[in-house]
Amino acid sequence: MPSSRAIRYNPPMHYALRPADPRDLSTVLAWIHSPADLRFWGGPLLTWPPDEVKTWREICADDNNTFALVDPAGSLAGFGQTFPRPPDGVHLGRIILSPAVRGQGLGRILVRALVDSALERFHPAAITLNVYRDNLPAVQLYCSLGFTVSAEDPDHNSYSMRLSVPAL
Ligand SMILES: CC(C)(COP(=O)(O)OP(=O)(O)OC[C@H]1O[C@@H](n2cnc3c(N)ncnc32)[C@H](O)[C@@H]1OP(=O)(O)O)[C@@H](O)C(=O)NCCC(=O)NCCS
């Protein structure tokens, strides 16, 4: 069942979301050490080994859909994408945090910032994402933000998850 939980998004002011560029992706790729890491982050279609130019193309990145979460010093802490899905949805993808800052609650800040940005720009009725069932930190993160499982794909061992946006 889709969540009807009302959520207010108040990311701390000291982290900022800005459009990402291929140099940010290059940093992200240094956090990815194996085909399994690549699959968890980017899904089954990305090809190994990743590289800045090829992977930027494979994730359909541009400066309208791809974002960097930066700390007060401007260092990259996280990365993610927002894709409008007609008629009234936005799909999140390629969410990742720097390994140096995992386990501190920043995942929630990153996803909330992406959701907030999507709400502001597209006024969607729902936010969706896909996640592998065995990616437990990611599944737990999304559940903690109110996403619920809307479908399961046994062939890819993945969940589709959905967050309903309450009317403002
Ligand atoms: C997914 C990701 C962004 C989460 O980062 P994070 O917020 O630092 O993650 P945490 O370590 O705080 O874990 C998130 C939650 O999962 C829980 N968790 C962590 N490992 C777990 C495990 N093995 N089993 C069950 N729960 C687990 C944590 O306790 C936490 O829950 P809580 O906040 O209720 O305590 C990060 O792990 C990441 O970048 N992973 C690599 C890329 C990726 O897989 N992206 C997801 C694409 S869909």
CA distance 84 to 93: 11
Which tokens hold the place of 4? 């009807």
Burial of 84 (0-12, 13-18, 19+ CB in 10 A): middle
- The string of DSSP codes covering 72-100 is TT--EEEEEEEEEETTTEEEEEEEEE-GG
pTM of the model: 0.92
CA distance 96 to 47: 17
Which residue's CA lies nearest to atom 43 of ligand 1? Answer: 41
Q: Name the residue with higher pLDDT: 32 or 7.
A: 32
Pocket residues: Cβ below 6 A from ligand 1 = 40-41, 95-97, 102-103, 106-107, 131, 135-138, 140-141, 144
3-state DSSP helix/strand/coil % of the chain, to nearest 5: 30, 30, 40
Atom of ligand 1 nearest to the CA of 137: 16
CATH code of the domain made up of 16-164 = 3.40.630.30
Which residue's CA lies nearest to atom 40 of ligand 1? Answer: 96
Which residue's CA lies nearest to atom 41 of ligand 1? Answer: 96
Atom of ligand 1 nearest to the CA of 140: 16
- Omega cis (within 30) before 87: yes
Mind listing the pLDDT tens digit for each residue in 121-155? 999 999 999 999 999 999 999 999 999 999 999 99
- Residue 75 Cα to ligand 1 midpoint, Å, equals 21
Q: How far is CA 135 from CA 29, 36, 140, in A?
A: 18, 11, 9
Please give the average per-residue pLDDT across 60-78, as a whole number: 95
- Residue 141 Cα to ligand 1 midpoint, Å, equals 6
Could you tell me if 81 and 66 are in contact, meaning their C-beta atoms sit under 8 angstroms apart?
Answer: yes
Mind listing the pLDDT tens digit for each residue in 79-110? 999 999 999 999 999 999 999 999 999 999 99
Domain boundaries, the chain: 16-164
